[in-house]
Amino acid sequence: MSAKHPRIVLSPVIVLALAVCLCVRGGMPAGERAPAAGGDRLPATAPLEIEGDIASLLVDGIDRFLLREIEEAARGRAALWNRDLSSPAALDASVEPRRRRLARILGVRDERRALEGFELAATTRCSARIATAEGYEVLRIRWPAVRGVHGEGLLLEPSGRSPIAGVVALGDADQTPEMLSGVEPGIPPISQLARRLAESGCRVVIPFLIDRASTFSTTMRGERRTRLTHREFLYRPAFELGRHIIGYEVQKVLAAVDELEGSAAEIGGRIGVFGHGEGGLVALHAAALDRRIAAAGVSGYFDRREEVWREPIDRNVFGLLREFGDAEIASLIAPRALVVEACAGPEFAVPPGTGGAPGRLTTPDPASVRRELARARELLAGLDPPPRFDLVLSGDGRGPFGSEDALAAFLDALVPGGGLAPAGEAPALEDEACGPSDRLLRQVREIEEDTQHLLRESAYVRDEFWKRADRASRSADAWSESVRWYRDYFAEEVIGRFDRELLDPSPRSRRVFDEPAYRGYEVVLDVFPDVIAFGILLVPRGIAAGERRPVVVCQHGLEGRPSHVADPSVDRPAYGRFACRLAERGFVAFAPQNPYIFGDRFRTLQRKANPIGKTLFSVITSQHDQITRWLASLPFVDPERIGFYGLSYGGKTAMRVPALVDRYCLSICSADFNEWIWKNASTRSRYTYVSTGEYEIFEFDLGSTFNYAEMAALIAPRPFMVERGHRDGVAPDEAVASEYAKVRLLYADLRIPERTEIELFDGPHAIRAEGTFRFLHRHLRWPEP
């Protein structure tokens, strides 16, 4: 199939969601009934008077809440820093913990390979020297960075004189080293900044950055094409494994710095980085992390970063905004020099509905750039001498990048007295037939293969991470105590926990149906400001005064609604009205509305949550915390017997929420349990999320910490079950079985094997409700009918 019309591949979860969405009629969502006459409600609740689609109101409220949390995170950053401004050395030492934190969230955590000089990229047909100009020559080079990942690009080497400085020059992602040096067309001469620096006597390395095309964004060894940009394609598996496309490119820059530092004594520590657009991003972060970089130039990038969720997803850095805006990152450069150029930035957009995460790049507002740099200076007020942080406007702040004033300021900061030389002629290409063939393919595949190496190693990394858990005692109590640290880590570093108290739930309810075996009520609870929990509660008839029943919380999947599992008039084959059937058996059942509904509207919630170190499940966990508190308070509910049963995205919930909400005394994961890290990070598997539209699914560094077996270990010693249909397209049976075998062994080691089981049946992505119902009756201690 042609690249112009790629094959669209839908995951089983999306297929289920589409089936659900097709059933929505005009007016009230399908299956939702109008409140019964009389306005009946649950005792100790106020009347529920909300009109319209409550699910939509729920998602909108979370959106407002997260936008406020972003602003609050920015206001709270100062408390996380402890800058010692008594001297430059004291400042440098005091911010080192923040520097290490930045390196971690960027994925800069691997030892770089030792260099023995840049490799000249020559063949028997083509020389490494591709062009010459007055005072320098242009060479194609390559250098190792980490493992099998190399930097590639150009070296502009002074001829007939010693270099006055070493500079790593970076264009935007869609600008090649050849454009930046004037060897090839594509950038106006005024912006060919690498050439201007070489003409001024610098030794200039120009790394190639991964571009925003999608030519090689393929999975299954090229069988499945995607429309993801190369940057998003590599971001997805890297993010899951604790790395980042930004981190890989920073490592390439720092590897070049390694060589510049060691190869030219005459440079004398005068090493700088200058970048535009995406190159400006990389230059800023590289200079913040490496104190060998004496001066940094950042062009067309520096800005207030609180709307990073609007930018392409390959700029999504988990937890960034809790500690860092661009001003805070700039403060890590001090007392070294920083030159910020306000100029035209790259203009780029990923529209909704194209397979990737929607996002856009626009030119930073010059006034915003000025304010952010002023804020950086304020953070360092009192440092003596004050850092050299220069702002240069190209024209009105939207002019061409690489302006003479910006380059002159950068050179003066790097080499005091070293002025910018007059512009010369562009280099003359020596052999037009010797272009950089296959360079883009090599660069994409090297990073892709490194993520697959990390995937293969991830099980061993997790084993090391879990060494402090007490499995040897073979005691459920000892296990519970030893995994407290892991549960806290999961809550803080993976899911993200809001540091705020739950509101009073202020429950509101209305009866929506009256069946022979049970009554149904819509319920709304307050969680946080603007955040509500909503669901349908089914209360069996015939509960005696003082009697307390077990509860099963029944969770829908992607694009689902409470009515899809808890309304007897709604028939969704995947769900089989399982909440209604449980109520008919005498269980109290509650079907919550989880916020994964309305496509990009909910997926952008993840985009807004990630930069503050939160996820969609940060909100969901808080909602379920409130739900279980309220359920436990009901006079007909036994607070010790509240179980969880979820399908598909509800199965994802079954792995995460009960691990953190201990009022859930058991959990059943249906149609989702599998080798989760492999499913998220593999570019070989046909089951992978790397090539689907679910761009919100990736969780930072999960591969180093928690696969599904480890999440189940957080649920243990409480009962845990997996429901799995052989025909379920989520994953193959062997991936499910091998991951579950680890869970079964843990429960056996803890001498409680009877508390876990798996039911395999010959069926699709659906609730079967046979073995799981028996499991609920047994462990919630309620007799089977």
Structure confidence by residue, pLDDT tens digits, 93-134: 999 999 999 999 999 999 999 988 999 998 888 899 999 999
The token pair at 132 is: 């010459």
For residue 220, the model assigns a pLDDT of 84
Judge whether residue 172 has pLDDT over 60: yes
Q: How far apart are CA 376 and CA 63, in angstroms?
A: 29
pLDDT tens by residue, 213-225: 999 999 988 788 8
Would you call 253 helix, strand, or coil by DSSP? helix
Q: For residues 454 and 241, is the Cβ–Cβ distance under 8 A? A: yes
pTM of the model: 0.94
Q: For residues 552, 556, 557 and 561, what is the CA-based torsion angle, rounded to 10 degrees?
A: -160
Q: How far apart are CA 362 and CA 367, in angstroms?
A: 14
Judge whether residue 6 has pLDDT over 70: no
Distances (CA, A) of 550 to 231, 582, 665, 778: 49, 11, 10, 11
Q: How far apart are CA 418 and CA 57, in angstroms?
A: 60
| Region label for 339, one of left (φ > 0), alpha (ψ between -120 and 50) or beta (otherwise) | beta
For residue 25, the model assigns a pLDDT of 32
Q: Which residue has the higher pLDDT, 10 or 689?
A: 689
3-state helix vs strand vs coil in the chain, percent to 5 = 40, 20, 45
pLDDT tens by residue, 344-376: 999 999 999 988 999 999 999 999 999 999 999
What percent of the chain shows pLDDT beyond 90? 90
Q: For residues 677 and 703, is the Cβ–Cβ distance under 8 A? A: yes
Q: How far apart are CA 579 and CA 567, in angstroms?
A: 8
The token pair at 44 is: 């100790």
Average of per-residue pLDDT across 728-754: 98
Contacts (Cβ under 8 Å, ≥6 apart) of 424: 133, 134, 135, 195, 199
For residue 29, the model assigns a pLDDT of 52
Judge whether residue 667 has pLDDT over 60: yes
Q: For residues 341 and 300, is the Cβ–Cβ distance under 8 A? A: yes
Distances (CA, A) of 282 to 251, 271, 435, 733, 782: 10, 15, 25, 42, 59
Q: Tokens 């892709």 correspond to what residue?
A: 448
Average of per-residue pLDDT across 686-709: 97
For residue 431, the model assigns a pLDDT of 78
Phi/psi of residue 54, nearest 5 degrees: -65, -35
Q: For residues 774 and 784, is the Cβ–Cβ distance under 8 A? A: yes
Average of per-residue pLDDT across 581-591: 98
Rg of the chain over Cα atoms, rounded to whole angstroms, equals: 29
What is the overall mean pLDDT for the chain?
Answer: 94
Q: Is the dihedral of CA 366, 368, 369, 374 positive or negative?
A: positive
DSSP labels, 560-616? --THHHH-TT---TTTTTHHHHHHHTT-EEEEE--S--STHHHHHHHHHHGGGT--H
Judge whether residue 620 has pLDDT over 80: yes
The token pair at 725 is: 């249909």
Burial 596-628 (b: 16+ CB within 10 A, else e): bbbbeebbbbbbbbbbbbbbbbbbbbbbbbbbb
Average of per-residue pLDDT across 61-78: 97
Q: For residues 94 and 395, is the Cβ–Cβ distance under 8 A? A: no
For residue 7, the model assigns a pLDDT of 39
Judge whether residue 475 has pLDDT over 90: yes
Which band of pLDDT confidence, cut at 50, 70 and 90, is reported for residue 34?
Answer: very low
Average of per-residue pLDDT across 454-475: 97
pLDDT tens by residue, 633-642: 999 999 999 9
What percent of the chain shows pLDDT beyond 70? 95
Judge whether residue 236 has pLDDT over 60: yes
Judge whether residue 563 has pLDDT over 70: yes
For residue 222, the model assigns a pLDDT of 79
